[in-house]
């Protein structure tokens, strides 16, 4: 398998999951502005959407969209318990978390990366993030991870998105359980390995 990534982007989530699952894979960095891979390939020809993550499965299929990719990877290594079994109610709880992170957190951080975003849009994003992180804070009460005591692919995605708070100077001090979660996940060896591989840790 081959993961196309950009350092620190949402592709960090499947990168973490690949390592946690113990699956064989390679990576190739992508310059998202130029749409060119590290080897000089036209990334738009690989993934017409033009963004990461993208995963070549080795079976002639290219998977895109992080929540789909991480569930696929979890199912390749069921013994790692990175996702509940398909068809169980718990699996749909996990899917709900992945959708929530994607639509309510990831997409509300996105405007903050745009230098030309107007004040109204920035304030709207901040307001939404504060509201949604308040929900996450309440859900983490008494839990190590989003669904309980077991680390899952949803935790890898939430960790990845929370990393952006530091880059964007978004204050998380009002969410102590979220901060504790971020620290807990950051200490996992495979998370640290993924961060080092992307040049985010030394």
Using one digit for the tens of pLDDT, what is the confidence trace for 92-145?
Answer: 999 999 999 999 999 999 999 988 889 999 999 999 999 999 999 999 999 999
CA distance 113 to 130: 17
pLDDT score, position 104: 98
Residue 87 has pLDDT above 90, yes or no: yes
Q: Map out the domains of the chain with their CATH numbers.
A: 2-80+190-197 (3.40.30.10), 89-188 (1.20.1050.10)
Mean pLDDT score of the chain: 97
pLDDT tens per residue across span 65-74: 999 999 999 9
Which residue, among 6, 30, 4, 12, has the nearest Cα to 157 in the 3D structure? 12
Q: Model confidence at 42, in pLDDT bands (50, 70, 90)? A: very high
The whole-model pTM stands at 0.97
The answer to whether residues 190 and 15 touch, using CB atoms and an 8 Å cutoff, is no
């Amino acid at each position: 398998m081959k993961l196309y990534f950009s350092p620190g982007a949402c592709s960090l989530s499947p990168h973490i999951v690949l390592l946690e699952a113990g699956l064989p894979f390679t990576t190739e960095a992508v310059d998202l502005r130029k749409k060119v891979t590290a080897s000089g390939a036209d990334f738009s020809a690989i993934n017409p959407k033009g963004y990461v993550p993208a995963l070549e499965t080795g079976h002639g299929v290219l998977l895109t969209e992080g929540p789909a990719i991480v569930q696929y990877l979890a199912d390749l290594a069921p013994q790692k318990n990175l996702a509940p079994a398909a068809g169980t109610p718990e699996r749909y709880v996990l899917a709900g978390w992945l959708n929530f992170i994607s639509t309510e957190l990831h997409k509300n951080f996105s405007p903050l990366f745009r230098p030309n975003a107007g004040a109204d849009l920035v304030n709207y994003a901040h307001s939404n993030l504060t509201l949604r992180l308040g929900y996450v804070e309440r859900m983490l009460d008494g839990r190590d991870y989003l669904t309980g005591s077991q680390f899952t692919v949803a935790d890898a995605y939430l960790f990845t998105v929370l990393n952006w708070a530091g880059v964007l100077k978004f204050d998380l001090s009002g969410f102590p359980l979220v901060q504790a979660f971020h620290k807990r996940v950051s200490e996992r060896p495979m998370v640290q390995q993924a961060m080092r591989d992307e040049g985010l840790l030394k």
